[in-house]
């Protein structure tokens, strides 16, 4: 023993001391103090001679005890006051602790017990956590956790790798330990199991509760939790006499009258309770017998008293998610537990039986007598600090005591009633759109995998050609139909394929709506096709607000005040009944389509008119903006087993669509009571509705009470389902599919551990943050206000061990230009709008987060920002933390920062990137990296295993963090002699879906990964998009859910010792990393980084084309605005402004005059940064051609040539692409092939590439070249039955390859790819096409010719044909376009359509002998004159609008055209804005009237069509 007056160095240890990985930086004072960890240095010593360093909070004292862990994610006040934890040092595996503070101990319930606690004191010896939250936030909090521990004299420490510690206890068993603060005297170890802990916690005198009640129960207090008293005395109205553990029941000195005996929980070894067992044995001997019920320790005492044995478990079961099977019914319940001993089932006497079984470790969880009323449970049916799913055991006990006939529990006969399906039709979601994106590719792929495992023939209808699920493969669907997801097409497929089941829950609202239509028509019943999973009446009950409200009322739950309306007058009446403001929503709509807030009748009428265009019923809801929004993912099987897999909390208060909100999993600011209150409700609702499979329930929770209401239930897989699957590692879609086939949760295995059951609730030892990705800057006039209608196009998911870490990671993932979360330096804060206006609730935009951060950087305090935003104070305190650390860092140089102990580590733990730190200290990223590594600061690799390390899991699902001390997986050896195949190849994924980089790049990444594994390479995937198939851990050998930044990719590359990196299959983000990675010694697979740069750099590439004598539009590098204007004057307007190294035409603009050119040059320079901006001559009326290829060492192996239907000027991602090309001259094709070959050779391409050409006549020019996969790769690969990415992957790995046999001229079918747009959601955006991409997704369909394929593709985008009124409005700006459309106008007239035209357009066609009615152009947005075009659209009298704005620069045309286009989108009139597409539609409709109806054809049938030389069959 020694005592030090100063803080000493860590005490010498015989074995291994684990350094502190440190935690929260919440501090104040000088810059050095801000970057220093709060609390005294301290150590957790274990009796196996290892130790863990950290920092103290709570009482400044030393304590010893047994070290145990608890996997609960909430409930620390309840756990710490649980007498069963007596004298134990408790490790909480969930890393963020202290968030919601500690409630007021003086608040008592009606029994006089502290309302929020399980006893009157803290029983643990000490507390160990990863991250302590010095700032707490909760309406019920009285003080902080640290203050509470201090008052109780209990030490605690943070900064410990609790996952590492949990794994240690898991492997070695419970250990004795001690927490010592360095500056205090050392203490000896102490094994509390040698003491009679029950004697320490038991009451000393009998206490009677609810005196006078007729039913009288004696409860032995061996450490009884207060909630047991509440359940018995309050819930069941018994007189409860609580007696000491050693009360002699046989002598009964107090003469207590009793009808039943209760045995409580308690700490320690049950063998220590001989006095208690003596009384139990007396009770067991009574004749007639009196009912006995035991819990936890009571289960062990009952077993020992009956003559059985108990044993010490390796590390016990402690947590809130232990699955226990009722051996009477096979039902499985999620139970809370806290025990270190268990009953030996084999030792039970002959007349005793096991009652419950742990579904994971198969240990005993309860016993019962075969004929007498004695039973017990090892778990806590009543736990406050856990689920109460088994509280019916109290009902059984008290009912037995009262002589009530107990319900007979039998196995559900449905157990044996399982349908055997042979063939199932899966309905996909179609093209990606806002509100329905890539999450359904992931869900559908999981569904197909589950079906195929069961040997079920799987048929898929989905026109989304870019997805993984529509890929022909051995593990994919047996047959894929690229057809519109519409009832008629599905009926045709059913009549051809004759499936016996159909799944409509994996394709979003699109599939659900068509499923409802098919069901209600009686077609499915007639054809004997069963809906798998949740049945349609149940789905309708959740979608129809009135039915839903009635269903909830049946079980005492309620939705927010809401009324349905079927017309405007009903809507106004409902709104006035509720009181303004109100929320207007369309029923049966996805992503909040057609919704918004109205403050008065006028606003309501405007919104309601738009909403009625998307649905026959609208909903008027109470405005709950400012309440917390919380959601739970729930799974239920047909045997009524029901679990919640994940709960999530929105960072933003209610009022912003959850798809547009930052979401945190698990919830961070909910107390235990709130968490389990909402969980209990979720299970009750789902069971009552009868949902089978997976669903999502959303709540509004009052921020200052426990009031809540249900917002909605989605009885299908949703975007939250994909997020929850990736956040927890629990594959919801896969499990839901198995359940829809009649399987049960208990028999399914946890897909990560392989040994434990799927009937469990995941424990997270990390936190997850989802951040939306918007692309609103791409749209002119768009309203950026976030509200009830979703606007985001994608999302990212960050994983870490504290909030600062995950929000910083997420910012970098969401926007590659950001080094972390920044305020003013983000360049996203609008300087023209007052900062407070940008923060206010109800006025949030896509940049509000950065405005909040700017406020903290400018000195605002948390309370001020809270009052403005209503974002919870806890979240705001974390953001302020980041701002304080940023400010402190900026006072230092790199040299001085490295001299502050742990400063760099503290910054890294809080999520600061090397690039961020470099910016603050005026250094370079790589310099900071080297300095950090020299200090020994590297991230560690952690696993996601669903059970917080409680059970072993050989999972390859990984993330990196600085909040840790050891890697969970083996990293590269110091001397690495492995082969390339064993070292592995890293595949960099696509990142967040955005306009220009979507699911097509996930298809590319998955194709590359599958080919690597097929060829024997270890495949390592890095991506952070939860919507993707590439982030399914089954797809790769190792999956890193991580950033695609230079820092993180280098970290992973070095940790893995990877042999190389593929950057060319994930779009622009990984492609832009090629040079920085190469410069840092990374082996870039395939085309060299320098050649990639040469293609991306507009100036270098254009120079190369000139040297090769390849035609291109005239160009000039921007140096000054004056030079650009001179260039435009020389070549003539229009000109094209093009920045380098950008995706989807970002900041690319066509300029038609000097003013536009000057404006756009500034924007392009800002986007390009230090990269060149080129000004190019823009060629009018040219045809655009797409060339996709794979080359090896500069020689092209395979290629595909597609043509755009629209002329050049429409971005290739928005264009309609025809493959094989139908209208190209042979000479044009020769030029294209020749130029492509020259470019491939000039850039020495090895891998995938894409070149865009334009042709006018036979004059071919190059637009650009991308040395990576393009968005058309899945389109050409599936059309030609030749996977270009598989071939390119083999090329990049240096393998011998054999090109596919493709002859484009011999293909006897046509595939047309059409773009999906989401203008209906983008309020105010101008729905016209240009050189910057606008589409959010794509579809493609096949046909005998281009017309047939075009029409089906158009229908697949959701386009409505003009069949309601047959009225078509024409408004074509220029005479040239009017002339071009003349034949099409005649065709429409011939087909029986009624033509209306704005004044000039009508006059032109009247002269050409076409019957057309003249209508007035609108002069403003409210111009509703009779006989006006705008009024006709708003009144629903126009089915389709053809507005061609091309070529015009007159102000009145732009204004009137915009109003017509916008009104068409808002009021449900189909819109076409391109003359080529409008003409093709006329041709296609004419062809459709003449063609013979045939059975639908699947992809395989097209590929097998007879061709010259058998080209198709060869691939």
Joined tokens for residue 704: 């200052």
- The widest CA-to-CA distance across the chain, in whole angstroms, is 114
Minimal CA–CA distance to 625: which of 843, 846, 875?
A: 843
Number of H helices, E strands in the chain: 49, 60
From the candidates 42, 222, 273, 296, give the one annotated as an active-site residue.
Answer: 296
The answer to whether residue 1341 is catalytic is no
Q: Which residues of 1373-1410 are buried (b: 16+ CB within 10 A; e: fewer)?
A: bbeebbebbeebbbbbbeeebbbbbbebbbebbeeeeb
Minimal CA–CA distance to 1228: which of 1270, 1276, 1261?
A: 1261
Sequence-ordered strand ranges (E) for 1413-1510 = 1413-1415, 1440-1444, 1470-1472
In angstroms, what CA-CA distances link 727 with 383, 553, 764, 1032, 1172?
26, 33, 9, 11, 40
The answer to whether residue 296 is catalytic is yes
- The strand order across the sheet containing 1060-1062 reads 940-943, 957-961, 1038-1041, 1019-1023, 985-988, 1060-1062
Integer-rounded Cα Rg, in Å, for the chain is 34
3-state secondary structure 499-538: CCEEECCCCHHHHHHHHHHHHHCCHHHHCCCEECCCCHHH
Cβ-proximal residues to 348 (8 Å cutoff; 6+ apart), any chain: 303, 306, 308, 354, 367
CA distance 848 to 865: 12
- Going by their DSSP bridges, the two strands 1195-1207 and 1217-1219 should be labelled as antiparallel
CA distance 885 to 26: 9
CA distance 1388 to 1368: 9
Burial class (CB in 10 A: 0-12, 13-18, 19+), 164: buried
CA distance 725 to 770: 13
From the candidates 136, 138, 369, 380, give the one annotated as an active-site residue.
Answer: 380
Distance of CA 453 to the CA centre of its chain: 25
How many CB atoms sit inside 10 A of residue 1120's CB?
Answer: 9
* Phi, psi (deg, nearest 5) at residue 1504: -90, 5
Sequence-ordered strand ranges (E) for 670-747 = 693-701, 708-714
Minimal CA–CA distance to 533: which of 737, 779, 743?
A: 737
3-state secondary structure 1240-1305: HHHCCCCEEEEEEEEEECCEEEEEEEECCCCCCHHHHHHHHCCCHHHHHHHHHCCCCCCCCCCCHH
In angstroms, what CA-CA distances link 1177 with 1101, 1112, 1113, 1136, 1252?
16, 9, 6, 6, 16
Joined tokens for residue 24: 């929260």
The answer to whether residue 892 is catalytic is no
Joined tokens for residue 385: 């600090």
Burial class (CB in 10 A: 0-12, 13-18, 19+), 1237: middle
Joined tokens for residue 899: 């001299």
Minimal CA–CA distance to 79: which of 159, 8, 176, 148?
A: 148
From the candidates 118, 382, 1043, 1446, give the one annotated as an active-site residue.
Answer: 382
CA distance 231 to 382: 7
CA distance 1417 to 1423: 9
| Catalytically annotated residues | 296, 380, 382
């Amino acid at each position: 023993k020694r005592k030090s007056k100063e803080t000493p160095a860590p005490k010498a240890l015989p074995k291994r001391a684990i350094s502190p990985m440190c935690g929260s930086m919440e501090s104040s004072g000088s810059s050095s103090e801000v970057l220093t960890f709060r609390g005294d240095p301290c150590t957790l010593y274990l009796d196996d001679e290892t130790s863990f360093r950290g920092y103290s909070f709570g009482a400044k004292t030393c304590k010893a005890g047994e070290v145990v862990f608890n996997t609960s994610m909430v409930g620390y006040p309840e756990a710490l006051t649980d007498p069963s934890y007596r004298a134990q040092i408790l490790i909480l595996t969930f890393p963020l602790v202290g968030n919601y503070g500690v409630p007021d101990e003086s608040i008592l319930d009606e029994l006089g017990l502290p309302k929020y606690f399980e006893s009157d004191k803290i029983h643990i010896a000490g507390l160990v956590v990863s991250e302590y939250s010095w700032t707490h936030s909760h309406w019920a909090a009285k003080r902080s956790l640290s203050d509470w521990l201090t008052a109780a004299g209990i030490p605690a420490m943070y900064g410990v790798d609790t996952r590492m510690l949990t794994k240690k206890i898991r492997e070695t068993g419970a250990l004795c330990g001690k927490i010592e603060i360095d500056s205090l005297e050392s203490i000896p170890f102490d094994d509390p199991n040698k003491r009679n802990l029950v004697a320490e916690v038991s009451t000393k005198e009998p206490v009677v509760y609810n005196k006078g009640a007729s039913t009288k129960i004696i409860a032995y207090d061996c450490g009884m939790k207060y909630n047991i008293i509440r359940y018995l005395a309050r819930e069941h109205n018994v007189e409860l006499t609580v007696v000491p553990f050693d009360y002699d029941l046989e002598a009964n000195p107090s003469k207590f009258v009793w009808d039943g005996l209760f045995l409580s929980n308690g700490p320690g070894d049950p063998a220590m309770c001989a006095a208690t067992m003596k009384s139990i044995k007396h009770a067991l001997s009574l004749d007639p017998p009196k009912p006995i019920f035991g819990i936890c320790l009571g289960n062990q005492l009952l077993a020992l008293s009956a003559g059985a044995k108990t044993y010490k478990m390796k590390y016990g079961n402690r947590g809130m998610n232990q699955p226990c099977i009722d051996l009477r019914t096979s039902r499985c319940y999620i139970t809370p537990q806290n025990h270190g001993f268990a009953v030996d089932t084999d030792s039970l006497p002959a007349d005793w039986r096991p009652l419950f079984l742990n579904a994971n470790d198969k240990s005993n969880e309860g016993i019962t007598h075969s004929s007498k009323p004695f039973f017990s449970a090892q778990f806590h049916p009543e736990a406050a600090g856990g689920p109460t799913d088994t509280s019916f055991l109290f009902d059984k006990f008290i009912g037995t005591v009262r002589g009530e006939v107990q319900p007979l529990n039998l196995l559900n006969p449905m157990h044996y009633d399982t349908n055997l399906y042979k063939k199932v039709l899966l309905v996909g979601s179609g093209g990606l759109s806002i509100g329905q994106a890539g999450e359904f590719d992931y869900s559908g792929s999981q569904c197909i995998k589950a079906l195929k495992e069961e040997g079920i023939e799987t048929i898929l209808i989905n026109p989304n050609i870019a997805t993984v699920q529509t890929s022909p493969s051995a593990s994919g669907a047996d047959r894929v139909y690229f057809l519109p997801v519409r009832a008629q097409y599905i009926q045709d497929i059913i009549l051809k394929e004759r499936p016996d089941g159909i799944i409509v829950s994996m394709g979003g609202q699109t599939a659900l709506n068509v499923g409802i239509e098919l069901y209600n028509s009686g077609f499915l019943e007639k054809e004997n096709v069963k809906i798998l999973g949740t049945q349609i009446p149940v789905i309708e009950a959740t979608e129809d607000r009135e039915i839903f409200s009635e269903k909830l009322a049946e079980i005492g739950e309620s939705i927010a005040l809401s009324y349905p309306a079927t017309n405007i007058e009903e809507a106004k009446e409902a709104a006035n009944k509720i009181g303004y403001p109100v929320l207007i929503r369309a029923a049966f709509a996805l992503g909040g389509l057609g919704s918004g807030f109205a403050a008065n009748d006028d606003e309501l009428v405007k919104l309601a008119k738009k909403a009625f265009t998307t649905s026959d019923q609208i909903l008027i809801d109470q405005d709950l903006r400012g309440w917390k929004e919380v959601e739970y993912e729930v799974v239920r099987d047909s045997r009524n087993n029901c679990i919640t897999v994940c709960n999530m909390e929105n960072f933003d208060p209610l009022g912003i669509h959850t798809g547009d909100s930052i979401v945190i999993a698990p919830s961070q600011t909910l107390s235990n009571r709130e968490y389990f209150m909402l969980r209990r409700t979720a299970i009750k609702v789902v069971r009552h509705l009868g949902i089978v499979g997976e669903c999502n329930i959303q709540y509004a929770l009052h921020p200052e009470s426990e009031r809540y209401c249900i917002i909605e239930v989605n009885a299908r897989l949703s975007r939250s389902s994909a997020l929850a699957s990736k956040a927890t590692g629990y594959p919801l879609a896969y499990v839901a599919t198995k359940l829809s086939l009649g399987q049960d949760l208990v028999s399914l295995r946890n897909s990560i551990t392989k040994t434990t059951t799927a009937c469990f609730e995941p424990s997270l030892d990390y936190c997850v943050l989802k951040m939306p990705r918007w692309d609103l800057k791409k749209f002119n006039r768009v309203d950026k206000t976030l509200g009830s209608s979703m606007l985001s196009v994608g999302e990212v998911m960050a994983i870490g061990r504290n909030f600062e870490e995950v929000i910083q990671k997420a910012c970098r993932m969401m926007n590659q230009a950001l080094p972390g979360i920044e305020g003013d330096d983000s360049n996203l804060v609008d300087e023209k709008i007052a900062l407070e206006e940008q923060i206010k609730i109800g006025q949030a935009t896509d940049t509000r987060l950065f405005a909040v951060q700017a406020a903290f950087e400018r000195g605002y305090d948390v309370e001020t920002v809270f009052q403005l935003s209503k974002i919870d104070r806890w979240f705001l305190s974390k953001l302020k933390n980041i701002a304080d650390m940023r400010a402190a860092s900026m006072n230092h140089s790199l040299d001085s920062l490295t001299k502050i102990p742990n400063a760099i580590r503290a910054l890294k733990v809080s999520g600061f990137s090397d690039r961020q730190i470099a910016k603050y200290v005026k250094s370079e990223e790589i310099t900071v990296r080297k300095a950090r590594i020299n200090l020994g600061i590297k991230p560690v690799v952690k696993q996601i295993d669903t059970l917080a390390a409680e059970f072993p899991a050989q999972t390859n699902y990984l993330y990196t963090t600085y909040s840790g001390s050891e890697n969970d997986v083996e990293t590269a050896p110091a001397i690495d002699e492995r082969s390339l195949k064993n070292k592995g190849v890293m595949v960099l994924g696509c990142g967040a879906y955005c306009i220009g980089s979507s699911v097509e790049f996930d298809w590319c990444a998955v194709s590359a990964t599958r080919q690597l594994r097929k060829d024997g390479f270890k495949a390592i995937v890095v991506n952070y998009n939860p919507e993707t198939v590439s982030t399914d851990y089954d797809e790769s050998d190792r999956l890193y859910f991580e950033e695609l930044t230079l820092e993180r990719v280098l970290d992973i590359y070095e940790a893995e010792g990877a042999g190389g990196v593929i950057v060319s299959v994930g779009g622009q983000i990984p492609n832009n990393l090629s040079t920085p990675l190469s410069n840092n010694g990374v082996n870039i697979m395939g085309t060299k980084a320098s050649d990639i740069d040469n293609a991306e750099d507009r100036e270098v590439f254009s120079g190369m084309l000139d040297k090769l004598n390849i035609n291109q539009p005239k160009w000039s590098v921007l140096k000054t605005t004056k030079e650009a204007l001179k260039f435009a004057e020389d070549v003539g307007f229009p000109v094209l402004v093009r920045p380098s190294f950008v995706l989807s035409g970002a900041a690319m603009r066509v300029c038609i005059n000097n003013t536009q050119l000057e404006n756009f040059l500034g924007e392009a320079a800002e986007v390009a940064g230090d990269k060149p901006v080129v000004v190019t001559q823009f060629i009018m009326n040219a045809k655009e051609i797409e060339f996709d290829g794979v080359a090896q060492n500069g020689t092209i192996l395979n290629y595909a040539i597609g043509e755009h239907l629209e002329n050049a000027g429409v971005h290739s991602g928005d264009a309609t692409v025809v493959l094989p090309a139908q209208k190209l001259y042979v000479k044009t094709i020769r030029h294209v092939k020749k130029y492509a070959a020259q470019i491939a050779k000039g850039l020495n391409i090895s891998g995938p590439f894409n070149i865009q050409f334009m042709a006018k006549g036979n004059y071919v020019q190059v637009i650009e070249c991308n040395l990576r996969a393009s968005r058309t790769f899945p389109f050409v690969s599936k059309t030609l039955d030749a996977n270009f990415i598989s071939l390119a992957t083999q090329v990049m790995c240096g393998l011998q390859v054999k090109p596919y046999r493709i002859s484009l001229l011999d293909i006897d079918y046509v595939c047309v790819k059409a773009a999906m747009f989401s203008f209906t959601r983008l309020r105010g955006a101008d729905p016209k096409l240009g050189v910057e991409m606008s589409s959010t997704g794509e579809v493609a369909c096949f046909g005998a010719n281009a017309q047939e394929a075009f029409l089906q593709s158009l229908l697949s985008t959701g386009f409505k044909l003009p069949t309601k009124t047959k009225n078509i409005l024409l408004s074509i700006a220029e005479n040239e376009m009017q002339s071009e459309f003349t034949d099409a106008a005649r065709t429409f007239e011939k087909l029986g359509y009624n033509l209306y035209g704005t004044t000039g357009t009508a006059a032109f066609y009247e002269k050409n002998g076409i019957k057309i009615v003249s209508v007035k152009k609108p002069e403003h947005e409210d111009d509703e004159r009779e006989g006006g075009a705008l009024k006709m659209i708003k009144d629903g009298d126009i089915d389709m609008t053809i507005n061609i704005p091309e070529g015009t620069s007159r102000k009145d045309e732009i204004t009137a055209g915009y109003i017509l286009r916008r009104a068409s989108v808002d009021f449900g009139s189909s819109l076409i804005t391109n003359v080529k597409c409008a003409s093709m539609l006329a041709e296609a409709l004419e062809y459709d009237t003449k063609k013979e109806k045939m059975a639908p054809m699947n992809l395989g049938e097209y590929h097998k069509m007879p061709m010259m030389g058998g080209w198709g069959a060869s691939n």
